[in-house]
Structure 1
Amino acid sequence: MPRLYSQPDSGNCYKPRLLMAKLAMPFEHISISSTDGSTRKPEFMAKNPNGKVPLLEFDDGRFLAESNAILLHLAEGSRFVPEDSYERALMYQWLFFEQYTHEPNIAVRRALLVYPERAKDATPERLAATLEGGNKALLVMENQLQKTPYFTGSHISLADIALYAYTHEANRGGYDLAAYPSVAKWLSRVAGDEGHVPITWLPD
C-alpha cells in the first residue's frame, strides 16, 4: 500500500487524496505539516530534498513529489486523463496554469490570511498583488467555463481536480466567487462527481 505524506488542510495535498478517493485506491496517510518545520527535518529531507508535501512513497521505496506529478502518475489510464492527444495537451496546459498563475496567488493569499505563522508576510503590498493576480486567474477560468463545463471540454479531468483544490477555498483568501458565476457552477459540478470527498477527508 502506498504512503502519502501530506498536510491535511493543504490544497496541494488535497489533490492526490481526492484523486485516490475517486479511484478507490487504498493508501496510508501520514500527516506532516510544512508550517511547523517538520518537512525540513533531516528524516523527511532524506525522502524529499525539496522539503515539501505532498510526497508519495511506493511499496518498493521509491518516492514521487509535486502534487501534479503525483496526479499524472496515479491517474494514468483512468477517466481523468483524456484519450484524445489535443485534450490531453489542454489538460497539461491547465495543470501548468494552476501551478504558475493560480496557486502563487490564490493559494498564497489564503495561506497569508489563514496561517498565523505567515501573518508577518501579509504586507498590504503582497495582499494587494495576490488579490489582483488571483482575480485575473479566476477571470481566465470564468471565460473558459462559459464555453465548456470542464477545462478540457465536456468531461472532468485532472485539470479540474487540480484547480478545484484551492479554488473552492478561495473565499478564505478574500476572493468573491459571486463575481465568477461559471466558476461557481463548475465547483458544484466537480463536487458532484462520483467519489468526491471534502478537503477534510482522510482514509480510515
Structure 2
Amino acid sequence: MRLYSMPSSGNSYKVRLLAAMVGLRLETVHCEFRSAALEAAKARGALPFGKVPALQVEGGVVLAESNAILCHLGEGTAFWPADAVNRAQMLGWMFWEQYNHEPVIAVRQALVTYPHRAADATPARLADLLERGHALLGVMEAALAGRDWLAGDAASLADICLYAYTHSAGPRGGFEMDRFPALQAWLDRVAALPGHVRIDD
C-alpha cells in the first residue's frame, strides 16, 4: 500500500501512527504543502479529493479522508471494538473530531505554524479559536474523567484519531493543556502504547 502523506499534518500522522501500532509497512510519499511530490500526485489523479492523506490499496483503489483510512486499516485489529455500542461510540468521536475538534484545534496550530497562513492569523481569530478550543478540550477532559479510553475499556481508533492534533495542541497551538489533567494522562497512555511513533519520526 502507498500512503500519500503530509509529514507535518495531524491527519496524515494518525494514519502513520495506526500503521506503526499494528505493524503495517506502508510505502510513504511525502507530500508537504507546495511540494513537487504533492503537485505530481494531484496531476496523476492519485488524490481523490485533491488532498492528503490518501491511501492506495490493492488493485489501485485510492482511499481518501484520514478517518475513513483509519477504519480500513483498523478493522479486525485490537483498535476496532467487537462490541457494537463501543464501535458506535468510537465512530461518534471520530465524526466529532473532524466536524468540531479539527476545525478549531488543528486550524489554530496551522495559523501559528505555517508561514503561508500567517495573514489569516489575526489576533481576533486566534483568540476566538483559543476560547473555542479550550471548550472542546474540556469536552474530552470530562469524557476521560475516571476512564482510560474514549470508547470502551481499551484503546480504539477514536483515541488514535483524536491524539493526532490533541498531543500538539499545547506546543503548536498555544492551548493551556495544564488545565486538563485527565486529558494529559490520556495523552501519556496513548504515547505508551506499543508501536507508538512521533509525528516527526
TM-score normalized with structure 1 length? 0.93
Q: 1:63 and 2:62 equivalent?
A: yes
Provide the secondary structure at the position in 1 that maps to 2:59: coil
Q: Distance in 2 between matches of 1:38 and 1:122?
A: 26
Q: 1:179 and 2:179 equivalent?
A: yes
Which stretches of structure 1, 4 residues or more, deviate above 6 A after TM superposition? none
Which residue pairs with 1:44 in the alignment? 42
Q: 1:73 and 2:75 equivalent?
A: no
Q: Spell out the pairing of 1:76-95 with structure 2 (5 A cutoff).
A: 76-95=75-94
Q: Distance in 2 between matches of 1:168 and 1:21?
A: 17
Which residue pairs with 2:144 in the alignment? 145
Provide the secondary structure at the position in 1 that maps to 2:58: coil
Q: 1:74, CA displacement in angstroms?
A: 0.4
Equivalences, count: 199
Provide the secondary structure at the position in 2 that maps to 1:56: strand
Which residue pairs with 1:192 in the alignment? 192
Which residue pairs with 1:20 in the alignment? 19
Provide the secondary structure at the position in 1 that maps to 2:150: coil
Q: 1:159 and 2:158 equivalent?
A: yes
Provide the secondary structure at the position in 2 that maps to 1:81: coil
Q: Distance in 1 between matches of 2:112 and 2:84?
A: 40
Q: 1:153, CA displacement in angstroms?
A: 2.8
Provide the secondary structure at the position in 2 that maps to 1:60: helix
> What fraction of aligned residue pairs are identical, expressed as a percent?
50
* Higher alpha-carbon deviation: 186-195 or 126-135: 126-135
Q: Distance in 2 between matches of 1:43 and 1:153?
A: 38
Q: 1:142, CA displacement in angstroms?
A: 0.2
Q: 1:126, CA displacement in angstroms?
A: 1.5
The answer on whether the counterparts of 2:3 and 2:53 sit within 8 Å (CA) in structure 1 is: yes
Q: Which amino acid in structure 1 is aligned with residue 151 of structure 2?
A: T
TM-score normalized with structure 2 length? 0.94
The answer on whether the counterparts of 2:48 and 2:63 sit within 8 Å (CA) in structure 1 is: no
What's the RMSD between the two structures over aligned residues?
1.5
